[in-house]
Structure formats: structure tokens, C-alpha cells
């Protein structure tokens, strides 16, 4: 962490911001990604955990600007993380006051079926939204899923393994708060795996009933054409 003490109109304020991506949680990165404007105060507030109103009391704005170069460095590291293929072998959760170590490298499959289908739908929707906005041509090269989507995928993937409970789709939203405490250097490479290594997730969603109707319609069309050919002979 990088620490700096600055003067404010009421005294002094100690500010600490991450020096490396490994110091940043997924929750912090999600908050940064969701910023609607390039507000330096809000950015520093997210990274330091200090309320924006307190940062606004700093006497000299240049002292805050000095921290801007570190923010740019973190952004550069984030870009490299998106390009990285390395997946951590083990990550640590703090869940309900207990520390739990989870191995991730040996089993990167989404289980059980409920979690798999939920993850499939999330990924499919994210890709569809990207293609709708930017076009289908070469979409894989420009596609970067939102961190919030990555968080949801990881919540479905880790829920049973961390909680030791049966899969419960209604508990996933609350569990995302646990996922947000992961370091972004742990969370992003794992979630990226599901977008790049599960080609079945990229296909349009087609349920059993939808496929049955397709087969039924195909059969009806075949019979119609067969009868048409017979009547013209």
C-alpha cells in the first residue's frame, strides 16, 4: 500500500491506496468500473476506503493529484491482467468468520446442474449484449465481460464449495458480497476461464421444450412437403 498524510481544513488525513493489483478487491474494481464519470475524488475514495466528503476537505488538490499516477499504473496492470492466462491454484475465503482455502486449478467445471445453467445464461446474455452493441464481426477479440458479471459467475461456481450447502439460486445474490472480497488478481483469471473455455456457453439458449417444438415443426414441414410432392406426381 502507498501511504500519504495530507493537511485538511480540520487537521490531517492519512490516505492509503493500493500499490499493486493484488491489494485491490474485486468489489473495489467493480465500483471503479461502475463510475459514470472520471471523478478523481470518487476514484480515490473507492481505493482508499475514505469517504469522498472527507477527501474534499484536503487543503491542496495537488497532493491528491500526486496519487493519480498510481491510479494510472493500476489501470495498466489491470489491462495486463485481462490478457493473462494464469489461474491461481488456491484462493482463500473468509466466510461467516471462518477462513476456507479452495483449490481451483484441478476442477474448473460449473456444478451442479443449476449452477451450470445459471452460469450459461449469464454468459450468453453478456455476449449477446456485447454483439448487439458492437456487432458480431470479430467480437471475441474485443469482448471483455463486466466485472459484475464475472462476480456472478464466481458466485455460482463457488457457492456450494465455500458454504457446504446445497445449491440455492436465491442465495447467490447475497453470496456475491463474499466473492467481492476476493483479490481481483484471483477472481478475474478464474472467471475469464468460463468465457474462453466453455464454447457451449456461447451458443444461444435452447431449452428442452423449445427443441421439441423445433423437431415437431420440422416433422410437420417434412410431411407437408411430402404430401405436396405426392399430389403433383
Query: What confidence tens digit (pLDDT) does each residue in 101-156 have?
Result: 988 866 667 788 888 888 888 888 888 888 888 887 777 777 777 889 889 999 99
Residues sharing a CB contact under 8 Å with residue 35, sequence separation 6 or more, in sequence order: 42, 43, 46
Q: What is the pLDDT confidence band of residue 182, given thresholds at 50, 70 and 90?
A: very high
89 has pLDDT over 90:
no
39 three-class SS:
coil
Q: What count of residues does the chain have?
A: 233
Q: What is the pLDDT confidence band of residue 222, given thresholds at 50, 70 and 90?
A: very low
Residue 148 CA to residue 77 CA, distance in Å, equals 19
Using a 10 angstrom Cβ sphere, with 0-12 exposed, 13-18 middle and 19 or more buried, the burial of residue 155 is buried
In the chain, where are the structural domains located? 2-83, 90-202
Which residues on adjacent β-strands are paired with residue 4? 15
Residue 58 CA to residue 221 CA, distance in Å, equals 74
CB 17 within 8 A of CB 2: yes
- pTM of structure: 0.76
Amino acid at each position: 500500500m502507498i501511504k500519504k498524510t495530507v493537511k485538511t481544513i480540520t487537521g490531517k488525513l492519512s490516505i492509503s491506496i493500493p500499490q499493486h493489483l493484488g491489494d485491490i478487491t474485486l468489489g473495489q474494481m467493480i465500483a471503479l468500473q461502475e463510475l459514470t464519470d472520471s471523478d478523481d475524488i470518487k476514484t480515490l475514495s473507492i481505493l482508499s476506503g475514505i469517504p469522498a466528503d472527507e477527501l474534499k476537505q484536503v487543503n491542496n488538490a495537488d497532493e491528491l493529484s500526486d496519487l493519480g499516477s498510481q491510479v494510472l499504473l493500476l489501470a495498466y496492470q489491470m489491462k495486463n491482467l485481462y490478457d493473462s492466462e494464469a489461474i491461481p491454484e488456491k484462493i482463500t475465503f473468509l466466510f461467516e468468520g471462518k477462513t476456507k482455502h479452495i483449490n481451483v486449478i484441478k476442477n474448473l467445471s460449473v456444478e451442479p446442474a443449476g449452477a451450470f445453467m445459471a452460469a450459461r445464461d449469464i454468459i450468453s446474455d453478456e455476449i449477446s449484449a456485447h454483439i448487439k452493441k458492437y456487432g458480431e464481426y470479430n467480437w471475441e477479440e474485443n469482448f471483455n465481460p463486466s466485472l459484475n458479471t464475472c462476480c456472478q459467475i464466481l458466485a455460482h461456481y463457488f457457492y456450494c464449495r465455500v458454504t457446504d450447502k446445497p445449491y440455492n439460486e436465491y442465495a447467490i445474490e447475497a453470496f456475491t458480497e463474499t466473492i467481492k472480497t476476493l483479490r481481483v488478481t484471483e477472481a478475474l483469471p478464474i472467471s475469464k476461464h468460463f468465457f474462453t473455455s466453455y464454447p457451449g456457453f456461447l451458443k444461444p439458449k435452447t431449452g428442452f421444450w423449445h427443441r421439441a417444438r423445433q423437431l415437431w415443426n420440422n416433422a410437420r414441414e417434412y410431411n407437408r412437403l411430402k404430401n405436396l410432392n405426392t399430389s403433383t406426381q
